């Protein structure tokens, strides 16, 4: 079922490629020893090298190299044993050197792939073209002064991994799924925190449209979209814009555009679009980067179980659906939490509780999986109480809310509130007898065909027992007595 946009002249396909800039998790910058933390006072995390003072020289951060290789392995990509750092030359106020040290012809990582988990449970594979290391630029503030822009170089020189996909995506949803999956992988690997709001992961989308069967048409680039939701909106808008251009008889221009989140539109960047000739050449202040197979192997051995593998294992070991498994493994901490809850218990029940009431409680209380509203041990304990019939599933929900409120263990709460389920057959029979006796007319109506009244009787029995009667037993005995 492919995604198309219906225009005046027929159906149009989308072709989408994404370039993601992911800030590498490292203490210091790619080529300088300055710190990389977010939110510092302006120009306090700037070394002389970052400020491009005369005579300054780059020295590469070994950890950044490892992080790039680790990411490449996580993307099932080819690690290039030799790569070269090249200067990308252009002028901008947040680019102190007048060039960015990047990689051009010889990137550190080659082709790989990302498997997308689509909302309907299917998967699609998107190719990775390459990954390379490069310096981030500083920050310009254009809205602090009427006629001047302010420049903060704290971010200048921070290590980025530029991850370029192949133009394999065909819908805004696929693009969203790609970014979601990529972010998940990077977080699992510990190579990028994927915080789009803070800018540690940024997306540029290359969008073009075409009629089915055509070769690729001209693409436009939408820069720096900082949320997955905006990414989808921007792609959708841009695709329609291009279709309108073509259907009006025009040509799409290869250009860079910005997404205006307020208006929901993309617009052309005013800035100098004339020939961005970057004049790439190997940086003469550096040497080629040569890796050894042993170096790469050593990193490979430290890779965690990644989302795809974990998802497959969850499907196999816990008999979960691909959809459920996919949701659980999106965040590693969540997956770990689930496994702690599911260990030695009914996995499906564990899954339902984690994805249901527990996730809702997290959202409600504004907590995160690193500081959960209920511990895995306690949630597991609650499930145990349901499994051994101490409480009913419905009562368990109440107990759970009390766990969130009070932080107490489930057994403690059940004890304190006297919520133990009534499973004594005799007690239930007595309760049922009482209800049936008090509602003789309804009993007669039921026996003459009004089946819906069964629920009424169940409700009355629950009321009588303060909600503690075991529902299954109530049903069974009630059926027998009603006939």
Partner 1 sequence: MSELTKLTMAEAREGLKAKRFTAVELANAHLAAMAAAKGLNAFVTETPDLALERARQSDERLAKGEAGAMEGLPIGMKDLFCTEGVRSTASSRILENFVPQYESTVSGKLKAAGAVVLGKTALDEFAMGSSNMTSAFGPVINPWRRTSDPSVQLVPGGSSGGSAAAVAARLVMGATGTDTGGSIRQPASFCGLVGIKPTYGRCSRWGIVAFASSLDQAGPMTRTVRDAALMLGSMVGFDPKDSTSADVAVPDFEAALTGDIRGLKVGIPKEYRPDGLSAEISKLWEDGVAMLKDAGATPVEISLPHTKYALATYYIVAPAECSSNLARYDGVRYGMRVEGKTLDEMYAKTRAAGFGAEVRRRILIGTYVLSAGYYDAYYIKAQKVRRLIADDFAKAFQTVDVILTPTAPSAAFGLGETDDNPITMWLNDVFTIPTSMAGLPGLSLPTGLSSDGLPLGLQLIGRPFDEETVLKVAEVMERAAGFTAVPAGM
Partner 2 sequence: MSLDKDTVRNIANLARLEVREDELDHLAGELSNILQFVEQLAEVDTDGVAPMTSVAHMELRRRVDEVTDGNYPEKVLANAPERIDGFFVVPKVVE
User: Which residues would be at the binding site for partner 1 (CB under 8 A)?
Assistant: 48, 51-60, 87, 89, 91-93, 96-99, 149, 151, 272, 275, 277, 279-281, 284-287
Cα separation, 73 vs 299, in Å, equals: 9
DSSP string, 335-394: HHHHHHHHTTS-HHHHHHHIIIIIHHHHHHHT--TTS-SS-HHHHHHHHHHHHTTSS-HH
- Residue 56 interacts, among partner 1, partner 2, none and using kind-specific CB cut-offs from 5 to 8 Å, with partner 1
Among 9, 11, 48, 254, binds partner 2 (CB under 8 A): 48
Check binding of 158 to partner 2 (CB under 8 A): no
CB 207 within 8 A of CB 14: yes
In three-state secondary structure terms, 221 is strand
Check binding of 91 to partner 2 (CB under 8 A): yes
- Residue 87 interacts, among partner 1, partner 2, none and using kind-specific CB cut-offs from 5 to 8 Å, with partner 1
Choices 55-63, 163-171, 355-363, 391-399; region in contact with partner 2 by CB under 8 A: 55-63
Cα separation, 315 vs 338, in Å, equals: 13
Within 13 Å and on the Cβ side, how many CA atoms surround 35?
9
Give the CA-trace dihedral at 211, 213, 215, 216, to 10 degrees: 50
Among 6, 39, 148, 344, binds partner 2 (CB under 8 A): 148
- Residue 449 interacts, among partner 1, partner 2, none and using kind-specific CB cut-offs from 5 to 8 Å, with none
Nearer to partner 2, 289 or 474 (CB): 289
| H or E stretch at 139 | strand 139-141
Smallest distance, partner 1 to C-beta of residue 108, A: 17
In three-state secondary structure terms, 405 is helix
Check binding of 153 to partner 2 (CB under 8 A): yes
Count of residues near partner 2 by CB under 8 A: 56
Which residues lie below 8 Å from residue 449, measured CB to CB, with a gap of 6+? none
Question: Token pair for residue 424?
Answer: 């004594």
Among 23, 45, 165, 200, binds partner 2 (CB under 8 A): 45
Cα separation, 60 vs 62, in Å, equals: 6
Nearer to partner 1, 8 or 277 (CB): 277
Among 81, 212, 253, 269, binds partner 2 (CB under 8 A): 269
Smallest distance, partner 1 to C-beta of residue 92, A: 8
x-or-dash string of contact with partner 2, 412-441, rule CB under 8 A = ------------------------------
Which residues lie below 8 Å from residue 285, measured CB to CB, with a gap of 6+? 57, 58
Choices 49-57, 312-320, 356-364, 434-442; region in contact with partner 2 by CB under 8 A: 49-57
CB 5 within 8 A of CB 12: yes
Choices 25-33, 121-129, 333-341, 424-432; region in contact with partner 2 by CB under 8 A: 25-33
- Give me the residues that bind partner 2 (CB under 8 A), please: 26-28, 32-35, 41-51, 59-65, 91, 93, 140-142, 144-153, 258, 269-271, 274-275, 277, 279, 281-282, 284, 286-290
């Amino acid at each position: 079922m492919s995604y198309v946009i219906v225009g005046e002249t027929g159906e149009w396909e989308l072709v989408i490629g994404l370039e993601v800039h992911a800030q590498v998790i490292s203490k210091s910058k790619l080529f300088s020893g300055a710190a990389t933390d977010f939110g510092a006072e302006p120009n306090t995390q700037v070394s002389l090298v970052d400020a491009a003072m005369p005579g300054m020289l780059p020295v590469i951060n070994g950890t950044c190299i490892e992080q790039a290789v680790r990411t490449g392995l996580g993307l099932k990509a080819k690690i290039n044993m030799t790569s070269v750092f090249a200067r990308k030359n252009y002028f901008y106020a947040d680019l102190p050197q007048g060039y960015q040290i990047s990689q051009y012809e010889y990137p550190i990582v080659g082709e790989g792939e990302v498997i997308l988990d689509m909302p309907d449970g299917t998967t699609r594979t998107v190719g990775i073209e390459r990954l390379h290391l490069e310096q981030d630029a500083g920050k310009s503030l254009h809205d602090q002064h009427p006629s001047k822009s302010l420049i903060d170089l704290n971010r200048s020189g921070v290590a980025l991994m530029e991850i370029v996909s192949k133009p394999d995506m065909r819908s805004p949803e696929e693009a969203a799924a790609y970014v979601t999956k990529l972010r998940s992988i990077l977080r699992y690997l510990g190579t990028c925190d994927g915080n789009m709001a803070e800018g540690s992961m940024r997306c540029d989308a290359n969008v073009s449209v075409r009629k089915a069967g055509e070769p690729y048409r001209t693409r436009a680039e939408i820069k720096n979209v900082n949320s997955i939701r905006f990414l989808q909106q921007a792609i959708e808008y841009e695709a329609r814009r291009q279709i309108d251009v073509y259907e009006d008889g025009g040509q799409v221009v290869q250009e860079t555009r910005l997404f205006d989140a307020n208006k929901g539109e993309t617009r052309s960047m005013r800035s100098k679009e004339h020939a961005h000739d970057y004049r790439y050449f190997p940086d003469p202040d550096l040497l080629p980067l040569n890796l050894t197979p042993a170096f790469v192997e050593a990193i490979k051995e430290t890779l965690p179980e990644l989302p795809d593998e974990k998802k497959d294992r969850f499907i196999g070991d816990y008999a979960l659906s691909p959809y459920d498994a996919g949701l659980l493994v999106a965040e590693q901490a969540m997956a770990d939490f689930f496994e702690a809850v599911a260990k030695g218990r009914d996995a499906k029940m564990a899954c339902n509780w984690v994805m249901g009431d527990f996730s809702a409680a997290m959202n409600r209380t504004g907590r995160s999986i690193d500081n959960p509203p209920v511990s895995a041990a306690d949630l597991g304990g609650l499930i145990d109480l349901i499994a051994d019939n101490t409480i009913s599933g419905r009562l368990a929900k109440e107990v759970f809310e009390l766990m969130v409120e009070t932080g107490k263990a489930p057994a403690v709460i059940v004890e304190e509130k006297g919520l133990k389920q009534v499973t004594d057959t005799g007690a239930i029979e007595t309760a049922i007898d009482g209800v049936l006796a008090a509602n003789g007319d309804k009993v007669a109506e039921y026996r003459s065909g009004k089946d819906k009244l069964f629920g009424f009787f169940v409700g009355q029995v629950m009321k009588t027992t303060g909600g503690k009667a075991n529902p299954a037993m109530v049903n069974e005995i009630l059926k027998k007595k009603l006939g």
